[in-house]
Chains A and B, each alone.
Chain A
Amino acid sequence: AQSVTQPDIHITVSEGASLELRCNYSYGATPYLFWYVQSPGQGLQLLLKYFSGDTLVQGIKGFEAEFKRSQSSFNLRKPSVHWSDAAEYFCAVGASGGTSYGKLTFGQGTILTVHP
């Protein structure tokens, strides 16, 4: 079965600082990987996705993520954080086929606080 671990429950950064949120996955084949963001009181919004090809993927709002198969990781990065980036971030993995197609498994989430 697929699983996702986000080791950091809460991260605090200063505005303008760089950001890296960690994500490790477990899946037997090549996974489909995603990062979603949830602003307070809102539903989730897709930030970026990896299906295949280039291991560095670009998303919305200036975010990027790198797929590293050898480390089973898909870390999210942003070079300069803005106060509006404060939110909860979820990494997710989807099966690339079979009866689980279309179903996502989410990590526990990382809450990002941004100090002015």
Chain B
Amino acid sequence: NAGVTQTPKFRILKIGQSMTLQCTQDMNHNYMYWYRQDPGMGLKLIYYSVGAGITDKGEVPNGYNVSRSTTEDFPLRLELAAPSQTSVYFCASSQSQGSAYEQYFGPGTRLTVT
């Protein structure tokens, strides 16, 4: 049981490039989330999903896109990378119905845009 896995662990992008951050969970959780973490700012919610085919914006969605075609996978797409997207990105998942807040986090992806 691997929990939540994220790839890659590290990535350096040039301004204007695109990439997809992968997230997979094997706990059969309905809810999945993407956060970004910047020093001194805590975690900010980018996008979340309550089930396959259902996604919604969080607090800071601009410059990102998501899809949820399966229960297990929740990739985050960055189009036209900008220096402001330099951050550590965390994927998380949780069950629904009362346990939605017990989120299980992946190890993170550290992204630098130069």
Interface residues of A (CB under 8 A from B): 4, 9, 32, 34, 41-46, 49, 90, 92, 94, 101-109
Contacts and interface: CB of A to CB of B under 8 A. Distances in A.
Contact of A103 (B40, B45, B108): B45
A109 B103 CA distance: 17
Contacts of A45: 105
B83 interface: no
Given A106-B43, A108-B41, A43 B108 contact: yes
A46 B102 contact: yes
B107 A42 contact: yes
B45 A43 contact: no
A102 B31 contact: yes
A103 B41 CA distance: 17
Contact of B42 (A42, A43, A46, A108): A108
B61 interface: no
Interface in B58-85: 58
A92 B61 CA distance: 20
Interface string B23-60: 00000000101000000111111001010000000100
Residue among B4, B90, B105, B106 having the largest count of chain A Cβ atoms under 10 Å:
B105
B100 interface: yes
B90 A103 contact: no
Given A102-B100, A104-B103, A44 B40 contact: no
